[in-house]
Amino acid sequence: MSDPIETITAFEALDSRGRPTVGCTVVTRGGARGRAIVPSGASTGSHEARELRDGGERYGGYGVRRAVANAEGELLDAVRGIDVTDQDVVDRALREADGTADGGRLGANAILAISVAAAQAAAAVRRLPLYAAVGDGLMTLPMPMINIISGGAHAARALDVQDFLVVPVGAATFAEAIETVARVRAATGDVLRDRGATWALVADEGGYGPQLSSNREALEVLSAAFDRAHLIPGDDIAIAIDVAATQFHSASDGTYHWQTEDRRMRSAELVEELAAWSADFPVVSIEDALAEDDWDGWRTATEHLGGIQLLGDDLFVTSPDRLRRGIAEDVANAVLVKPNQIGTLSEAREAVGIAHAAGYATVLSARSGETEDHWLADLAVGWNTGQLKIGSTMRSERTAKWNRVLEIERELGDDIALARPMFGRGS
């Protein structure tokens, strides 16, 4: 069932931070249509695919008119006439047209918008929902990893550690998982209010953005919230931490600086601190425990924390090549997958396949600058990533994805189950 790409219409849209991003519609010769608006990150790794921004005065330099023009120009020329159902060929043509390793000439934002819109159009050609169109084997509903307290680049650095999240490990269904986390979020607000903390501030991804005395206090707040919500730590609910260590790493002297605590640490000291947190609280996952190029520090972390999920985001940037290096060097045991880090759906899916073959866990993730699109939820189901990290249980660009998984669960009923990640080696 082939149907060649005929036209692309692109436009400058807004993400959840109010910054421009690229949206586009792909239309096939047979009339099938696919639409996508792509996200953008705040705490971006230096090895990520590169968005194309206009510079100048419009939107503080964040405009994307050049990327939009490239989508309707060179990139359309590259894919016109290609069968939209052959995602690999479409994506290869997009990357070859750009001709750079990071997609920066024509814009990784324009490339991904066409890649995702083409996948949507291909699903329309096949008359399938996106999750079914991209799936080719076992499908599960992802275990949600949900933001409750934010710092770092997501909350004006109120804390050094970027995100404290919860995982509803005891839930039997996705609907129960979301309900459990909603209870935790409400209870966290009550705990922050009782402590006199700033509980009304909302961070980029919908979590609370409080001013606390230390990074560890965020874990204490969550523990108190679990108790208030009558949940058993470790059985009903657990904690995931996104350290985002690259954001406070000094490449010049190799130290990590927590400004809120006026504390400098070497890699081993940071690992020791995270190990203490994991011993004292029900931590099942730590993301970006060390900086993106601190491979020695990551090896130390893997040796001392390998019993839990060690998740590489800036470390791997959804790059098949960097992931292969991590596997070969026995670094981390899980990969965060963000399609806009690498540029196309085909490359992101390749990273998922490499991880699964090596026994590494996968977590499909949104970005801090998100859109109302919900295609990421379909990918999590179809690619069987097992885990999904979107943000909190509020703000419509976040709930759009959670709501889509809830809809899929209702549609498929007993034919699909909630994934049960092991959160460690062998996941």
Q: Which residues are catalytic?
A: 205, 338
> Crossing angle of helices 174-194/396-412, nearest 10°?
150
Sort 39 into a burial class: Cβ within 10 Å, 0-12 / 13-18 / 19+.
Answer: buried
Is 5 in a helix, a strand, or coil?
Answer: strand
How far, in Å, CA of 42 to CA of 204, rounded? 9
CB neighbourhood size of 316 (10 A)? 33
Residue in 125, 53, 42, 52 with CA at minimum distance from that of residue 82: 125
Binding residues: 162, 242, 287, 313, 338, 367-368, 389
Binding residues for Mg(2+): 242, 287, 313
**Which DSSP helix (H) or strand (E) runs through 36?**
strand 33-37
DSSP conformation letters of 281-313: S-EEEEE--S-TT-HHHHHHHHHHHTTSEEEES
How far, in Å, CA of 136 to CA of 149, rounded? 36
Binding residues for (2R)-2-phosphoglycerate: 162, 338, 367-368, 389
Q: What DSSP designation does 83 have?
A: B
Residue in 334, 326, 395 with CA at minimum distance from that of residue 366: 395
162: its two tokens? 């970027």
